């Protein structure tokens, strides 16, 4: 259900924000801790990022209903950085990455991150999802993930074959708890009553797994957190000694991936509600400030996160107040109830991450690409996914972007997109000529975004010499959003993809 554009200052607006903040808090708590564990760091590191994402980034974000915090999409790269560089390197990396994001936002580069091929972004997220599943699979047995995706895959049969049902130990008991957590999550999300649709399955799964372990007094690994959140703050030391080419390269990679995931999420959130649209450059600046603060206290990196953001919108939030309040609730819980977190089995957090990771592997997206845009985008998606799993995340993304350049070959002699915009008493007419490819996506998006929703619009694509899947998806989303609100929209053109859009 889309959030309605109510006045944020009204009593109704405040009550909806308050209720939404509770829902987002309940969704965020297990994810913040689980993502930290998946990153090879203590759970409190993820909670600190969630607090900063709510209290600080929530106040200055360019996407008011988007929620920021630790993201599963960065867990893999952080795990590798901690393994190779040590946890102490994460602070300098985030300080530099945040500065890069801040500078990019000031330079108004936010729109260019949206020009990354959707096939690359979704391939990256799918690869990350696979890595999370095969890594957290070992946590279900009270074991630690191995160094690489291929090693984790190779060790999976041994975990299963090593089980001894006749003499259950820590691994067997942890697997039972994980199974209960996953079972409750999936069952609740499939059969929950409509009146309780906002109660998150992850929370119920963690509660069920924790209660089971306590009642049966199971000897399994538990979450370890300090008595005070202040004890978890570890500012970077000897910053200058970390300024190596490896650290700087890692920081740029984190900035790039975090920015792409944030702005992809912001664009998705915009489709869910009727309120103000996201300001990508302002959002990028806010994320930069947030990541610099995370680096300063030794927390995890942050991005805008779609799971918590969609929960925020579906719960009826109308302003940034709900995001800020969810940060307040995390801080209060961590400060007042650390003993509750210590009762949680590690296997429950691993189970939450297994389900979360699997949901990133959206095979339906590949089928949609094949159906509407042909084989090449699917090849880009699959190549990015495989390389993220088999090599590393950065290699997969870079090769995916290089592969996406192949889409430019048919238009290499005419890459320019000309946009003619005219207004009259009957409405707005936008005529496009040239090649609509991902390099021109920011220009096209700016043009479409500036058209008032209440005006009749005709988009004439008859003189387009080419249309790649990035711009086709942008047009599709824009047309669907306008038609959902009853805005008169006519799309003219011969491309079969445009005919499908016009008939939608």
Would you say 65 and 306 are in contact if contact means Cβ atoms under 8 Å apart?
no
Predicted local confidence at residue 2, as pLDDT: 45
CA distance 140 to 425: 64
Which tokens is 97 given? 């990455």
CA distance 131 to 500: 35
Rounded to 5 degrees, what are φ and ψ at 437? -120, 175
Topology of domain 417-503, CATH: Transcription Regulator spoIIAA (3.30.750)
Reported as half-sphere exposure (CB side, CA atoms, 13 A), residue 1 has a value of 11
Could you tell me whether strands 489-492 and 303-305 are parallel, antiparallel, or unpaired per DSSP bridges?
A: unpaired
Predicted local confidence at residue 107, as pLDDT: 92
Starting from the edge strand earliest in sequence, which strands make up the sheet with 457-467, in order?
417-424, 427-436, 457-467, 489-492
CA distance 200 to 197: 8
Predicted local confidence at residue 318, as pLDDT: 87
Would you say 97 and 295 are in contact if contact means Cβ atoms under 8 Å apart?
yes
Three-state secondary structure string covering 259-281:
HHHHHHHHHHHHCCECCCCCCHH
Burial per residue of 158-179, b for 16 or more beta-carbon CB atoms within 10 angstroms, e otherwise = ebeeeeeeeeeeebbbbbbbbe
Predicted local confidence at residue 1, as pLDDT: 42
Predicted local confidence at residue 178, as pLDDT: 94
Distance from chain centroid for Cα 430 = 33
CA angle 188/194/196 to nearest 5° reads: 60
Looking at residue 3, the DSSP 8-state letter turns out to be: B
Domain ranges of the chain: 11-349, 417-503
SS3 399: helix
Rounded to 5 degrees, what are φ and ψ at 465? -85, -15
**Is the model's pTM score more than 0.85?**
no
Residue whose entry in the numeric block shows the structure tokens 């607090």:
51
Rg of the chain (C-alpha set): 23
Block means of pLDDT (10 residues each) for the chain, 504 residues, are 48 81 87 88 93 95 92 84 88 95 92 76 84 89 83 89 79 93 92 83 90 92 83 80 85 90 82 78 96 95 88 85 94 88 90 86 84 84 90 83 79 76 83 83 81 84 80 81 79 65 50
CA distance 290 to 323: 14
Would you say 441 and 478 are in contact if contact means Cβ atoms under 8 Å apart?
no
Could you tell me whether strands 489-492 and 457-467 are parallel, antiparallel, or unpaired per DSSP bridges?
A: parallel
Euclidean distance between the first and the last CA atom of the chain, given in angstroms as a whole number: 20
- Which residue, among 236, 232, 231, 229, has the nearest Cα to 95 in the 3D structure? 236
Residue whose entry in the numeric block shows the structure tokens 């903040």:
21
């Amino acid at each position: 259900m889309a959030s309605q554009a109510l006045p944020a200052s009204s009593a109704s607006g405040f009550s909806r924000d308050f209720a939404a903040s509770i829902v987002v808090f309940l969704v965020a708590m297990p994810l913040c801790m689980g993502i930290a564990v998946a990153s090879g760091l203590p759970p409190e590191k993820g909670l600190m990022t969630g607090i900063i994402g709510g209290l600080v980034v929530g106040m200055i974000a360019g996407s008011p209903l988007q929620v920021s915090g630790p993201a599963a999409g960065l867990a893999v790269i952080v795990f590798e950085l901690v393994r190779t560089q040590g946890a102490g390197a994460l602070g300098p990396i985030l300080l530099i990455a945040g500065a890069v994001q801040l500078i990019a936002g000031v330079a108004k580069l936010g729109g260019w991150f949206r020009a990354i091929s959707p096939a690359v972004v979704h391939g990256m997220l799918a690869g990350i999802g696979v890595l999370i599943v095969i890594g957290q699979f070992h946590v279900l047995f009270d074991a630690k993930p191995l160094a690489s995706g291929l090693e984790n895959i190779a060790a999976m049969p041994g975990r299963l074959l090593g089980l001894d049902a006749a003499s259950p130990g820590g691994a067997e008991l942890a697997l039972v708890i994980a199974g209960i957590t996953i079972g409750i999550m999936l069952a609740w999300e499939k059969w929950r009553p409509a009146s309780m649709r906002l109660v998150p399955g992850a929370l119920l799964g963690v509660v069920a797994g924790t209660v089971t372990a306590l009642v049966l007094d199971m000897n399994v690994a538990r979450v370890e957190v300090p008595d005070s959140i202040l004890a978890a703050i570890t500012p970077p030391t000897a910053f200058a000694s970390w300024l190596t080419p490896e650290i700087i390269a890692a920081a740029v990679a984190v900035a790039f991936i975090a920015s792409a995931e944030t702005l992809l999420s912001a664009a998705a959130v915009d489709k869910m509600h009727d309120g103000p649209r996201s300001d990508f450059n302002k959002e990028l600046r806010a994320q930069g400030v947030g990541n610099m603060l995370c680096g300063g206290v030794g927390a995890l990196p942050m991005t805008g996160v779609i799971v918590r953001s969609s929960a925020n919108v579906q719960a009826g939030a109308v302003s940034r107040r709900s995001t800020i309040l969810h940060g307040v609730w995390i801080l209060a819980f961590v400060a007042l109830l650390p003993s509750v977190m210590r009762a949680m089995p590690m296997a429950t957090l691993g189970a939450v991450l297994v389900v979360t990771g699997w949901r990133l592997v959206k095979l339906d997206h590949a089928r949609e690409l094949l159906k509407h845009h042909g084989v090449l985008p699917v090849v880009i998606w699959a190549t990015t996914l495989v390389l993220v799993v088999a090599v590393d995340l950065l290699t997969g993304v870079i090769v995916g972007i290089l592969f996406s350049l192949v889409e430019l070959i048919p238009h290499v002699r005419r890459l320019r997109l000309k946009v003619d915009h005219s207004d009259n008493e009957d409405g707005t007419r936008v005529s496009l000529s040239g090649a609509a490819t991902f390099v021109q996506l920011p220009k096209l998006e700016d043009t479409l975004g500036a058209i008032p929703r209440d005006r009749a619009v005709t988009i004439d694509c008859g003189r387009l010499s080419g249309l790649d899947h990035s711009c086709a998806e942008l047009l599709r989303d824009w047309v669907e959003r306008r038609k959902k609100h009853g805005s008169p929209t006519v799309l003219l053109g011969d491309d079969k993809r445009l005919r499908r859009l016009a008939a939608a």
